[in-house]
Structure 1
Amino acid sequence: MVRIRLRRQGLKGQPIYRVVITDRESPRNGRFIEAIGTYNPRTEPMVFDIDEARALYWLSVGAQPSEGVMPLLKKYGTYGRFERLKKGEATLEVLAQEGEQAKATTQPKTLKTTHTIPAAGQGHFKPKEK
């Protein structure tokens, strides 16, 4: 069975995820079929960027979203467009264009990170002793 799920990347304590199409039995950060987007929960507002056409294609051929991806797909309207595709209300091309237009209107131009930068001498590394 093919799944749509999150693949963790980034540094320790600073996760960034890639939305990937993978076999259900592959490990979380193992082999994948295709990367279709990214998700960064550490910015304000959080960034979820996905290739709408590829997501709709994989959903239409039977890929199952994971528990982490499903709320994101619903929040940004991708899963709603897929439901319309299943009912036959619109074609894949029309829905993909609709998703791209929605993404263009909802993405902010500037992002504010939520993590703080430590002051001098407050970081994880100790200064070198002479």
Structure 2
Amino acid sequence: MSVSIRLAKFGKKNAPTYKVVVANTKDKRNGRFIEVLGFYNPHQKTDSFSVNKQKYEEWQKKGALTTPAVEKLVSGKYNYTKYNPKAKKVEASTEV
């Protein structure tokens, strides 16, 4: 059984929050998990990420794989950018 440390999506529509969980790699993103290690809220300005470092390191020693997003969050290199859809192209109408 391979285990990964990843983000599980929770929260409301258009305002997601995430839990840092240890889960089987074959389980669904929001499915069963073994343990909750912390949380991440991209909408708060301060203290938006928290993880239990002791449990995180313990699971890594046991061989748990870590997703790139969680690695960036733990190392402090992750920068949240809000999604802005591209503006629709407006065609100039040329009337004769």
Q: Percent sequence identity over matched residues?
A: 36
Total equivalences in the alignment: 76
Cα drift, residue 54 of structure 1: 0.4
Which residues of structure 1 form unaligned runs of 5+? 77-130
Counterpart residue number, 1:6: 7
CA distance in 2, matches of 1:56, 1:67: 16
Secondary structure of the residue aligned to 2:68 is coil
CA distance in 1, matches of 2:68, 2:28: 16
CA distance in 1, matches of 2:47, 2:6: 17
Q: Give the TM-score of the pair, scaled to structure 2.
A: 0.74
Q: Which has the higher contact order (CA 8 A, sep 6+)?
A: 2
Cα drift, residue 12 of structure 1: 0.5
Return the letter of the residue paired with 1:54.
Answer: K
Counterpart residue number, 1:43: 44
Bigger mean CA offset, 58-67 vs 45-54: 45-54
Instruction: Kindly report the root-mean-square deviation, in angstroms, between the aligned alpha carbons of the 2 structures.
Output: 1.3
Cα drift, residue 21 of structure 1: 0.1
1:113-128 aligned within 5 A = none
Which residues of structure 2 form unaligned runs of 5+? 78-96
Secondary structure of the residue aligned to 2:69 is coil
1:12-91 aligned within 5 A = 12-45=13-46, 47-75=48-76
Return the letter of the residue paired with 2:60.
Answer: L
CA distance in 2, matches of 1:49, 1:11: 20
Cα drift, residue 74 of structure 1: 1.5
Return the letter of the residue paired with 2:46.
Answer: P
Structure with the higher helix share, 1 or 2: 1
1:103-122 aligned within 5 A = none
